[in-house]
Amino acid sequence: MSKNKRVALIFGGFITAVAAAFYPIFFHPLTHKEEYKVVQKINRAGISQADVQPVGVKVWSDPFKPKS
């Protein structure tokens, strides 16, 4: 195998590994918004936002709501 092919395979493997790491962190939640809305609704049930937030910090907002 020539040196250029070996470098290309190593570089391609690195790019593949980075893409594989980013998929569950960024792309899966982006494409499955409804599933994450349900999970957050369950996780935040029964929590008083004012009791949890420190003084002076903005109260939770819906992360799925479009910014206006």
Query: What integer pLDDT is reported at residue 13 of this predicted model?
Result: 97
pTM: 0.50
Q: What is the 3-state secondary structure (H, E, C) of 3-37?
A: HHHHHHHHHHHHHHHHHHHHHHHHHHHHHCHHHHH
Q: Tell me what pLDDT residue 68 has.
A: 64
* 29 pLDDT above the threshold of 90: no
* 64 close to 33: Cβ distance less than 8 angstroms: yes
CA distance 46 to 15: 43
Residue that wins the pLDDT comparison between 47 and 20: 20
The answer to whether the CB of 60 falls within 8 A of the CB of 49 is yes
**pLDDT at residue 63 is higher than 80:** no
Report the range of poorest mean pLDDT among 11-15, 18-22, 33-37, 53-57: 53-57
